[in-house]
Structures are given as structure tokens and as C-alpha cells.
């Protein structure tokens, strides 16, 4: 073993930083496409994204990069070549080798065509959703499914082609684990929902209209209160809210504003805010290195769901937030009880992102079952609306009146992402476990929350999650934080406890 | 001569289209930096721009491109190699060869460092301007000057290093031509200004406040009326207004809104609107080819100044615009005479973009003299504020109270652009000649203008200017339109006629 590893490692860092900056340009193109781009800009934008994606892919798979990476870690055996690297450097190298293995399996031509297809499909989806016209979107979805089947074949898999796809978003996850997990969740959630329905408990509805301007102002203030300062973040509006960490100090959040539903905007903001805090906490100056990236989509989602639901919909948080709402939305007489009930009422909704905590994972399970079937070829794209509606009725007891309330509601498929949805359910389960560990380690949190002091939570998350970057696989990381690892019981217990009280159920 | 030129030419087209799409990503990064980027995003953005600029430079100078271009046109002799190309293809190839010659002279390392410096300097300039703190900006300006001197040396020049720089923005232009032109202009304009001052004529001032919202609404409506539809364009606000053609159907304009000066915003919009119409008219589907690009900065400026001043500040246009202003700014009693006088009153202003038509070119000449002296080394950066103020007093009779009203007002130097300013004066001269030719060829325009019908002007510009792209050099193109070519007399006559009437001067 020679000892010029540090020099080579620093060259590798520069290369990855460059790769990350191209990614940043792509993210900006995508953010702009959803926020401010004039609509006829789309055709040239697709071309731009396709070219950037080609450059990005080349940087990640170029002979020069292969040589550089290979001079630090043996690309066949995984052996570390130099003796002067830190344990963290070595961890980074191991993850980079895994990435390289995956990337190399996808031909450049395929990657380029895939990006172009995604960009065009997203645009077509937006139009199809507007007019609730699934037929106009179906040819694009067919292509997306076909391309994902190809992708799975390129990447390789042991048991199910879907395993190759979910692994891209949640490393190490498989259909076997998910099938097992989701059967349990589905059974218990449907049961809980049934009990709640029987109670037929009605809460007093808050009837109010809040202007776009006031709601955005409230959103920005809440985000600042949870730690997202305007110096390094911003909030805009899009059809489908998202968060994009364009740079370590450039976090872009978006929300949707509905004038007679101020609650929707608040939780959109808190959701994306959770992603944003992770993006801000994790990236810092390790640009492009695994240590500077979030661990997985599921863990990223654990942060959004933690801020949106586990923390954000808790009694304590709502109590702390109440003065903000009273002030910004001019509702001086709003009572805490009414607000808490309105936020947490269980009422199956057609739209996933508007769903209550009990219905939410059922939405995910429905999508998982459909996309798994599409990928294995046991379901045709044409039949998606029918199956969607049938499952909605079976799991949630409601049937969408049109497809924009149903299978056209989400952007993900149009972006080419199949295997992505399960991470949303995983996020909820991780979040519940993380929050449980935190609360046990810091029992005075409830008191601090009254002053909107979230610093202890931030410190906990920084140390236990953010600081690990992507150096461990999600399940390894979860096991480090809590010995149970992936345990749906903590999540189900939390739901049962909370909603038994709210709805007066027998436990 | 073989005849597979068409195939090779189509490959060249693909390569240039790709290059153009990277340029588009850079333009978006720059637009975003000025409009919506959180301020701490700047450091990573600089890196992104520097990397994109490197990729762009490589695409324009790569061995592959050289080989492709060289297979169509002999890079030494300029001879065309294949017999099956059209006259237009051949013109494109000749311009591309010239571009290639220039680009190849700039080392990649230099280009990269220059882009990074520009991005950082723009940011520092913005802060320096805010606090009127020239000292904090001076080190950056020194670097900018040094880098431009280097650039001139790389590019080569016959008589003056500044010639190499102006040639980048206005191909074929030299200090010799400019010195000659500007001496005449300076003399005549100072004389005209003197006569106007003596008259000491006062007009009734319009005292009003118009909200940001109303002014932006008016701006958007005016832009739509001159042909910039929201489907392919948008209007935002920045410190320094600009126009960026991010794609053939994605024209981004920006303006500045001052609540007690609605006129400023209107003419900002019309100015950038003129650029936008050129960008829209010229690019179409010839992405990356010279035939799809504007001829020069001077000719681009001829379009902005045509819409802003020559057309936009004419009696007929103001008459046609009056109903828009009355409606959007809620000023039902505004009279045409008062509006015309307020728009055209001559009152030397510290700020170039707020200047009346008489002062405007004096602002440019001042900048030209300063930057020429900086480049030749006869003026130190430290002395810029002093010299600036002395010249302001000499030419315009006013002295800025602080540097943000003086030498810190413009973004150009901070962006690394030296040799750019003269194109603003050239634009005015070109615009006057173009409009003269148009009016002679279409005498019924005044009548049409009353209905806000600008279609004849659009057709004229499309045919005589836009359709030529960048296939001819500015002076060649001007000679094609009017036998006099570059003739300041037409411009000076227009100014003398208009302002003699407004101010009752003896002719």
C-alpha cells in the first residue's frame, strides 16, 4: 500500500464536486420548469436537461473517473489501495464503488432517452391532470413502464424486477421485505379506519378563506421558525409541492395554496421543510461525496413526515403554532381544540398529500401494488384507472370521480420514478422510531416546544442522522439509532394511541 | 469537392444545438441568480457556472468539433470543402470559422477563471452598490481589468488592446472608428444640451404613486401589446433590468419598479421588450447556428432603443399607450401633452438607464473613455470615481453624491464586460437609421400606430434584420439596409428636430 491516497482522494473530491454542480444546474432547470418557465419553453428545456444528463452520466462513468476511483479502491475486489486514508474516506469510497457499479450498467443512450422521456412526460402529465384525461397520458406511461423494465434488466435482480428499481431509491430494500411489511400495515390500518368510521364522530369545521398572500407569508414564517432562513432557502408554488437542494445553501421549497384550506398549505410547508432541513444539515461542504448526501429517499421522507405529522400534527406543536396562524391569517378567535381536531380528523381523501395519517400508508400500498404489477407485466397501463378506483374503494371506502383525483394525481410516474412510492411509507415508519428515541433521550422537549424551541431535536437529528450522510444503508443506519431497526409496531402504536384518544376508541 | 456535405452539416447542427443548450443552462443560472436565488446560494452557483462554462468552452473548441468544422471548411484557408451546401450553409460556416479562431485563442484555464471571477464580482458589486462602497469592489474591478488585458493579449490586436475587446461584442468595430464617431457626438450633444439648458423650460410634473402590482400588470400588458406573449416570455424584477433568451420560446425580461416613477418601469419594459422581440424573431429553430443569432450587441441594442426611444417615446406611440396607463395605473385624467413632456423632458440624470435621449450617449462616451484608459493602463482603478465625477460635471453638468449613483451603477464591469458599453451608443445610431428607412418605406405607419398596430414594423425588422441572423457583420448589414451604413447624422438630425420642437430652440 502506497501513501499518496490523500492527493488522489482530493482529486476525486474535485471531480465529484464538479459532478454535483452539473446536478445542481439540472435541479435548477427542473425547479424553473415547475415554477416560472413560460410554457412554450418546454421543448428546448427538455433538450437542455437531456444534454446535461448526458454530461452528468459521462462524468459519473467516464474512463477518467473510473481510473481515479480505481486508483483508490479496487473496482473488482473492493480493496482499499492506500494506507493514508481515514475511516470516513474509506466508507465514502465503498459507497462510490457501489454507485459506479450501478451507473455503469446503464448505457448512455438509455440514460439520455430516459431523461428526455421524463421531461416530456411530466409536461404531458400536467396537461392530462388539468383535463383529467388519462388517455392522453397513457402512451407516455406505457413508455415509462417499458423504460423501467429495461432499466431493471440493465441493473439486474435476483427475485423480482421491481427489486432493482426500489434499490435505486432505498438501497437494500426488496419486494420480499415490503410485501411482508405492507400486508401487516394494510390489515391494521384498514381495521383502525373501520373503528374510526363506526364512531362517526364529527368535529366543528373551520370555515374561512385566507388569501394567497397571507398564506404564503405564514408559510415563510413557519419555515423560518423551524430553521429554514430566507438567506439560504425560498418558498414558491407549484402544482405538486417539492423540495430541491440546489446547493448546500440554496434550498428551494414549493407549496400549494388553496384559499379555503389554510391547513393544506401549512402541512405542505412543514413537509417540504423537513426535507429542506435534512438537505441543509447533510450537505455542507462535502459536495458530491456520499457523506454529504441524504441516506435514502425513505430516510429523507422520514424527515418530511417527522416535521409534517409526527411533530407537526402533535398537540404541542399545534399549540406552539397557533399564535402564528392567529396573526397571519387574521383568526384571533381560533381555538386550539378546534384547530387540533381539524388538522387530525380522519377522513379518507382522494389525494395522497391531503390524506390523514391513517389513510396515508394505504395510499402508498395501493400505488406499490399497482406499479409492482405494471413492472412484472401482470397489469396493463389501460387498466390502471379501473384498478386504482377498485383499490380506493376497498382500502379507503371512496371512489374518485375522475382520474385527476385518482391515478393522475402524482407527478412521480411521469418523472420516470417507479419504485419510489414505497419510500413514503417507510418514511413514516422510520420517523415514528426516530422520534420515539429522541423523546426518550430528551424528556424536556414538550416544555421546550411551547417556546417553539426545536434546537434539541435539530441536534439529535444532526448527530444521529444528518452527520452520517449516505455512508450507511438505511436499515444499518436505523439499527444504529434503534436496535429494532425497521419496526412498524412503533408507528402503529403511535397511531393507535393518538387516534384512540381523539376518537374515543376502545384499545 | 465531394458531396456528403449535407450529412456532415447536420452533425454540426446537432453539436451546435447541444452547445446552445448548455448556454441556455448558464443563462438560466444567471437569470436565477439575479431574480430568485437565496443570497447564500452564490458560492455554489459560481462553481456551477464555472463548470458549465468549461463544458461550453470545450464543446466550442474540442478536437471533435474542430474536426467536424474542419471537414466542412478548411480552417486555414477558409475554403469550402463540399459542393452540396447552400449559400446560407456556407455563410454559416464562414462565421463559425471566425468564432472558432477567436475561441481557440483563449486557454480553457483562463475562461474558467474568468467566469468564476465574473460571477463573484457581480455579487460583490451588488453589495458594494447597496452600500455605495467602491473600495470593497475595487479589488474585483482590478482583477476584471487585468483579466481583460490578458484577454486582449490572447486575442491579439493591431492598434489598441481595446480593439480586441470591442470586437467580441461588435465584430469589426475599432477604437479608431469609435474615437472619430464619439468626438462628433460628444460635441454636438453637449451643444444641444447647452441650448436646452438655457431655455430653462419647465414642464408640469406628474405627481403620483403606483403600486408594484399595478406597474407590473401594466408592464406585462404593454409587452404583450408589442408582441411578447406570456406563452413564451415573462417579466420579473432585478436591480439592473436585462433580457435573456433562454430558448427560442423562453424570453425572460426583467424590470425595476419605483413607486413614484411609473415612467421608468414602462421604458425599462419597452427596452428589454425590444431585445426580446429580436431574440424571439431571430432564433427560431436554427439553434446554435449564426443564422439564428443576433448580429451584434450594437444591433441588439438598436432594437431595445428603437422600442424604448425612437418608437416608444414618439408622440404617436405615447398617444396609443395612454389608454393602457389610464386603465392600469388608475389615472383617468392624465393628459397626452403632460405625459409626452414628462417622458421626453431633458434633465441630465446620474443613472444611465434613466437618462433622457440627449444625455444618454454622453453617459456612454464617459464610460468608453474610462474603460479604454483602464485597459491601456493610463488610468488606475482607484481613480475611477474621481474621473467619473469630473466627466459627469464636464459633459452633463451634474456630480453624483455617491458612487452608487456614479461608477457603481452598472453591472457590466462586474460581469467582466469591458468593450461592451460603446454598443449602447451604436444601438441608438443604428436604430435611428433603421426607423428612418422603415418610415420611408411605409408612410401609413403613423395611422396604424393609433390602433397599436405594429405589424408593418415587425415585418420590416423580421425581413431586414432578424432574418439575417449573424451572417453579416454589423456594418455590412447596416449598408445593406441603408447605403449610408453607420451615419450619426440621421440620429443627430432626429434628436435636433424632436427637441427643437419640444424646447422651442432655433434650428
Write out pLDDT tens, residues B308-331: 999 999 999 999 999 999 999 999
With a cut of 90, say whether residue B479 has pLDDT above it: yes
Subunit contact B44:A248, Cβ cutoff 8 A: yes
Contacts of A22 in chain B (CB under 8 A): 48, 51-52, 55
For A24-36, give one letter per residue: b (16+ CB within 10 A) or e: bbbbbbbbbbbeb
B212 touches chain A (CB under 8 A): no
A489 touches chain B (CB under 8 A): no
Helix B161-169 and helix B422-441, axial crossing angle in degrees, nearest 10: 40
Task: Give whole-number Cα distances, A385 to A124, A135, A388, A407, B287, in Å.
Answer: 17, 10, 5, 6, 40
Mutate to test the interface with A, among B48, B276, B286 (most CBs of A within 10 A): B48
Within 10 angstroms of residue B115's Cβ, the number of other Cβ atoms is 21
Shortest CA gap A247–chain B (Å): 6
A240 contacts A410 by C-beta, under 8 angstroms: yes
Contacts of B43 in chain A (CB under 8 A): 247, 249
Subunit contact B22:A48, Cβ cutoff 8 A: yes
The pLDDT score that the predictor gives to residue B2 is: 65
Number of A:B CB contacts under 8 A? Answer: 109
From A48, which residue of chain B is nearest by alpha-carbon distance? B21
Subunit contact B51:A18, Cβ cutoff 8 A: yes
Subunit contact A22:B246, Cβ cutoff 8 A: no
**Which residues, 6+ apart, have CB-to-CB distance to A49 below 8 Å?**
A26, A29, A30, A115, A116, A119
Element holding B135 (H helix, E strand)? helix B134-155
Catalytic residue chosen out of the listed positions B272, B291, B301, B308: B272
- Tell which wins on pLDDT, B112 or A385: A385
Percent of chain A past pLDDT 70, that is, above it, reads: 99
Sheet containing B250-255, strands listed edge to edge, beginning at the edge strand earlier in sequence: B233-237, B250-255, B243-247
Q: Average pLDDT of A360-375?
A: 98
Contacts of B249 in chain A (CB under 8 A): 38, 40-41, 43-44
In sequence order, what are the beta bridge partners of B251? Answer: B233, B245
B248 touches chain A (CB under 8 A): yes
Block residue for cell numbers 434613466: B354
Phi first, then psi, for residue A185 (nearest 5°) are: -60, -45
As a whole number, the mean pLDDT across chain B is 95
d(CA B161, CA B102): 15
The pLDDT score that the predictor gives to residue B408 is: 97
Mutate to test the interface with A, among B24, B38, B254 (most CBs of A within 10 A): B38
Q: Average pLDDT of A126-141?
A: 96
Query: How is B251-309 classified by DSSP, letter by letter?
Result: EEEEE---TT-HHHHHHHHHHHHHHHHHHHHHHTT-TTSGGGS-S-HHHHHHHHHIIII
Contacts of B25 in chain A (CB under 8 A): 25, 28-29, 48, 52
Subunit contact B48:A24, Cβ cutoff 8 A: yes
With a cut of 80, say whether residue A475 has pLDDT above it: yes
The pLDDT score that the predictor gives to residue B3 is: 67
A285 touches chain B (CB under 8 A): no
Note the pLDDT tens digit of each residue in A238-262. Answer: 988 999 999 999 999 999 999 999 9
Subunit contact B21:A231, Cβ cutoff 8 A: no
In sequence order, what are the beta bridge partners of B461? Answer: none
Confidence band for B170, pLDDT divided at 50, 70 and 90: very high
d(CA B166, CA A31): 36
Confidence band for B168, pLDDT divided at 50, 70 and 90: very high
B38 touches chain A (CB under 8 A): yes
Subunit contact A38:B236, Cβ cutoff 8 A: no
Cell, residue A287: 459536495
**Cα A238-A244-A247 angle, rounded to 5 deg:** 140
B28 contacts B246 by C-beta, under 8 angstroms: yes
B58 touches chain A (CB under 8 A): no
Subunit contact B44:A250, Cβ cutoff 8 A: yes
- Closest by CA to B118, choosing from B24, B34, B36, is B34
A238 touches chain B (CB under 8 A): no
Mutate to test the interface with B, among A30, A31, A35, A36 (most CBs of B within 10 A): A36
Subunit contact B41:A249, Cβ cutoff 8 A: yes
Confidence band for A3, pLDDT divided at 50, 70 and 90: low
Subunit contact B247:A48, Cβ cutoff 8 A: yes
Shortest CA gap A92–chain B (Å): 22
d(CA B138, CA B121): 10
Contacts of A234 in chain B (CB under 8 A): 36, 38
d(CA B226, CA B246): 20
Indicate the pTM of the whole model.
0.89
As a whole number, the mean pLDDT across chain A is 95
Shortest CA gap B8–chain A (Å): 20
Tally of CA atoms within 13 A in the half-sphere of A246 that contains its CB: 32
B399 touches chain A (CB under 8 A): no
Q: Average pLDDT of A121-131?
A: 93
Give, as one character, the DSSP assignment of residue A405.
Answer: G
- Tell which wins on pLDDT, B176 or B112: B176
- Closest by CA to B457, choosing from A87, B239, B58, B466, is B466
Q: Average pLDDT of A357-367?
A: 97
B224 touches chain A (CB under 8 A): no
In sequence order, what are the beta bridge partners of B235? Answer: B253
Contacts of B47 in chain A (CB under 8 A): 17, 21
With a cut of 70, say whether residue A268 has pLDDT above it: yes
Q: Average pLDDT of B322-345?
A: 95
The SS3 assignment for A247 reads strand
Whole-angstrom distance between the N-terminal and C-terminal Cα of chain B? 62
Least CB-CB distance to B249: which of A41, A52, A250? A41
Cell, residue B469: 441572423
Note the pLDDT tens digit of each residue in A53-98. Answer: 889 988 988 899 999 999 999 999 999 999 999 999 999 999 999 9
Shortest CA gap A94–chain B (Å): 26
Block residue for cell numbers 420590416: B460
With a cut of 90, say whether residue B103 has pLDDT above it: no
Q: Average pLDDT of A470-483?
A: 94
B234 touches chain A (CB under 8 A): yes
Note the pLDDT tens digit of each residue in A425-438. Answer: 999 999 999 999 99
Subunit contact B41:A236, Cβ cutoff 8 A: no
Shortest CA gap A212–chain B (Å): 14
- Closest by CA to A277, choosing from A269, A288, A266, A285, is A269
Within 10 angstroms of residue A385's Cβ, the number of other Cβ atoms is 18
d(CA A199, CA B37): 50
Q: Average pLDDT of A11-18?
A: 94
The pLDDT score that the predictor gives to residue B123 is: 87
- Closest by CA to B297, choosing from B152, B173, B483, B463, is B173
Note the pLDDT tens digit of each residue in B196-213. Answer: 999 999 999 998 999 999
Percent of chain B past pLDDT 70, that is, above it, reads: 99
Contacts of B234 in chain A (CB under 8 A): 36, 38
Tally of CA atoms within 13 A in the half-sphere of A321 that contains its CB: 28
The pLDDT score that the predictor gives to residue B69 is: 97
Q: Average pLDDT of A202-206?
A: 93
Block residue for cell numbers 481583460: B148
Q: What is the dihedral of CA A302, A308, A313, A317, to 10 degrees?
A: 100
Element holding B244 (H helix, E strand)? strand B243-247
Subunit contact B233:A28, Cβ cutoff 8 A: no
Give, as one character, the DSSP assignment of residue A233.
Answer: E
The pLDDT score that the predictor gives to residue A353 is: 84
Least CB-CB distance to A231: which of B40, B45, B51? B40
A42 contacts A123 by C-beta, under 8 angstroms: yes
Block residue for cell numbers 462510490: A96
B342 touches chain A (CB under 8 A): no
Whole-angstrom distance between the N-terminal and C-terminal Cα of chain A? 62
Shortest CA gap A14–chain B (Å): 11
Subunit contact A234:B287, Cβ cutoff 8 A: no
User: A11-15, A181-185, B54-58, B249-253: lowest mean pLDDT where?
Assistant: B54-58
Note the pLDDT tens digit of each residue in A304-357. Answer: 999 999 999 999 999 999 999 999 999 999 999 999 999 999 999 999 988 999
B25 touches chain A (CB under 8 A): yes
Contacts of B21 in chain A (CB under 8 A): 44, 47-48, 51-52
A416 contacts A112 by C-beta, under 8 angstroms: no
Block residue for cell numbers 430558448: B247
With a cut of 60, say whether residue B1 has pLDDT above it: no
Q: Average pLDDT of A458-463?
A: 97
Q: Average pLDDT of A155-159?
A: 96
Subunit contact A25:B52, Cβ cutoff 8 A: yes
A212 touches chain B (CB under 8 A): no
Shortest CA gap B247–chain A (Å): 6
B83 contacts B277 by C-beta, under 8 angstroms: no
d(CA B431, CA B307): 9
Q: Are strands B233-237 and A243-247 parallel, antiparallel or unpaired?
A: unpaired
Give, as one character, the DSSP assignment of residue A3.
Answer: S
With a cut of 60, say whether residue A1 has pLDDT above it: no
d(CA A246, CA B325): 40
A22 touches chain B (CB under 8 A): yes
Least CB-CB distance to A21: which of B22, B48, B236? B48
With a cut of 60, say whether residue A366 has pLDDT above it: yes
The residues of A annotated as belonging to the active site are 272
Block residue for cell numbers 413557519: A222
Subunit contact B24:A40, Cβ cutoff 8 A: no
A373 touches chain B (CB under 8 A): no
Amino acid at each position: 500500500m502506497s501513501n499518496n491516497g490523500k492527493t488522489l482522494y482530493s482529486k476525486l473530491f474535485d471531480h465529484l464536486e464538479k459532478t454535483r454542480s452539473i446536478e445542481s444546474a439540472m435541479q435548477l432547470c427542473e425547479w424553473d420548469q415547475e415554477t416560472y418557465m413560460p410554457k412554450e419553453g418546454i421543448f428546448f428545456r427538455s433538450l437542455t436537461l437531456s444534454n446535461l444528463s448526458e454530461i452528468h452520466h459521462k462524468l459519473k462513468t467516464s474512463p477518467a473517473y473510473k481510473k481515479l476511483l480505481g486508483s483508490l479502491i479496487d473496482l473488482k475486489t473492493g480493496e482499499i489501495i492506500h494506507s493514508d486514508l481515514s475511516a470516513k474516506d474509506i466508507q465514502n469510497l465503498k459507497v462510490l464503488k457501489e454507485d459506479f457499479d450501478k451507473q455503469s450498467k446503464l448505457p448512455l443512450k438509455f440514460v439520455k432517452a430516459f431523461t428526455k422521456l421524463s421531461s416530456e412526460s411530466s409536461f404531458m402529465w400536467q396537461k392530462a391532470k388539468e383535463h383529467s384525461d388519462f388517455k392522453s397520458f397513457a402512451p407516455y406511461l406505457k413508455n415509462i413502464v417499458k423504460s423501467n423494465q429495461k432499466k431493471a434488466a440493465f441493473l439486474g435482480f435476483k427475485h423480482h424486477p421491481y427489486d432493482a428499481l426500489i434499490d435505486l431509491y432505498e438501497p437494500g430494500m426488496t419486494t420480499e421485505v415490503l410485501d411482508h411489511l405492507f400486508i401487516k400495515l394494510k390489515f391494521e390500518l384498514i381495521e383502525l379506519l373501520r373503528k374510526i368510521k363506526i364512531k362517526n364522530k364529527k368535529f366543528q369545521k373551520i370555515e374561512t378563506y385566507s388569501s394567497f398572500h397571507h398564506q404564503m407569508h405564514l408559510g415563510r414564517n413557519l419555515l423560518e421558525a423551524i430553521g429554514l432562513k430566507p438567506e439560504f432557502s425560498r418558498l414558491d408554488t407549484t402544482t405538486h409541492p417539492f423540495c430541491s437542494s440546489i446547493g448546500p445553501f440554496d434550498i428551494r421549497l414549493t407549496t400549494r395554496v388553496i384559499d379555503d384550506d389554510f391547513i393544506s398549505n401549512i402541512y405542505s410547508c412543514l413537509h417540504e421543510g423537513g426535507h429542506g432541513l435534512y438537505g441543509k444539515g447533510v450537505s455542507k461542504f462535502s459536495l458530491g461525496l456520499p457523506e454529504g448526501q441524504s441516506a435514502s429517499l425513505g430516510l429523507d421522507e422520514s424527515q418530511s413526515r417527522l416535521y409534517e405529522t409526527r411533530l407537526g400534527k402533535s398537540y404541542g406543536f399545534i399549540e406552539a403554532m397557533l399564535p402564528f396562524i392567529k396573526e397571519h391569517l387574521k383568526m384571533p378567535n381560533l381555538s386550539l381544540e378546534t384547530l387540533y381536531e381539524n388538522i387530525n380528523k380522519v377522513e379518507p381523501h382522494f389525494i395522497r398529500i391531503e390524506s390523514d395519517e391513517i389513510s396515508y400508508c394505504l395510499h402508498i400500498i395501493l400505488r406499490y401494488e399497482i406499479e409492482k404489477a405494471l413492472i412484472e407485466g401482470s397489469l396493463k397501463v389501460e387498466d390502471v384507472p379501473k384498478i386504482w378506483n377498485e383499490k380506493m374503494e376497498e382500502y379507503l371506502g371512496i371512489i374518485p370521480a375522475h382520474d385527476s383525483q385518482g391515478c393522475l394525481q402524482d407527478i412521480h410516474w411521469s418523472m420516470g420514478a417507479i419504485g419510489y412510492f414505497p419510500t413514503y411509507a417507510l418514511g413514516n415508519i422510520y420517523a415514528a422510531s426516530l422520534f420515539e428515541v429522541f423523546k426518550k433521550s430528551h424528556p424536556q422537549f414538550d416544555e421546550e416546544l411551547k417556546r417553539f424551541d426545536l434546537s434539541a431535536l435539530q441536534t439529535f437529528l444532526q448527530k444521529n442522522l444528518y452527520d452520517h450522510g449516505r455512508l450507511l444503508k438505511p436499515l444499518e443506519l436505523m439499527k444504529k439509532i434503534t436496535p429494532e431497526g425497521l419496526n412498524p409496531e412503533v408507528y402503529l402504536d403511535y397511531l393507535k394511541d393518538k387516534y384512540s384518544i381523539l376518537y374515543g376508541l376502545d384499545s
